[in-house]
C-alpha cells in the first residue's frame, strides 16, 4: 500500500505519527520574505493534516516515508495473507 501526495514543504516541516492504528500526516510551512529595495515584506503559510486508519495487516514498524521534489510517498507494507486451502466437496 502506498500513499503519494504533493506538498510544498520540506521534510523538516512534515511530521508522521502512528497512534492506535491511525497514521497521521501533519505539515506546516511558514515563509517570510523582506524586500529591502521596495520596503515591503511578504509571507506565506501552508498547513496540511490528514489521518487514515491502517489496515489490520499493516506492518506499522516497517512503514517508510520519503519526501522528494515536493512529493511525499508513504509506503505501508502488509503481512502476507496465508493461502487458503480450498477443498472440493463431493455432492452425493
d(CA 41, CA 23): 37
**CATH number of this structure's domain 2-75:** 2.60.40.790
DSSP code of residue 64 = E
Q: Is the pTM of this model over 0.95?
A: no
**Model confidence over 34-82: pLDDT tens digits?**
666 666 556 667 788 999 999 999 999 999 999 888 788 999 999 988 7
38: helix, strand or coil: coil
Phi, psi of 62 (to 5 degrees): -110, 10
Q: Parse the chain into domains and list their residue ranges.
A: 2-75
DSSP code of residue 9 = S
Dihedral sign from CA coordinates of 54, 58, 61, 66: negative
Our CA angle for 33, 39, 45, nearest 5°, is 25
Amino acid at each position: 500500500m502506498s500513499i503519494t501526495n504533493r506538498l510544498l514543504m520540506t521534510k523538516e516541516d512534515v511530521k508522521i505519527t502512528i497512534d492506535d492504528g491511525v497514521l497521521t500526516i501533519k505539515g506546516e510551512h511558514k515563509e517570510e520574505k523582506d524586500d529591502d529595495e521596495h520596503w515591503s515584506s511578504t509571507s506565506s503559510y501552508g498547513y496540511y493534516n490528514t489521518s487514515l486508519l491502517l489496515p489490520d495487516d499493516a506492518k506499522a514498524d516497517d512503514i517508510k516515508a520519503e519526501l522528494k521534489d515536493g512529493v511525499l510517498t508513504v509506503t505501508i507494507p502488509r503481512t502476507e495473507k496465508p493461502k487458503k486451502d480450498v477443498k472440493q466437496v463431493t455432492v452425493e
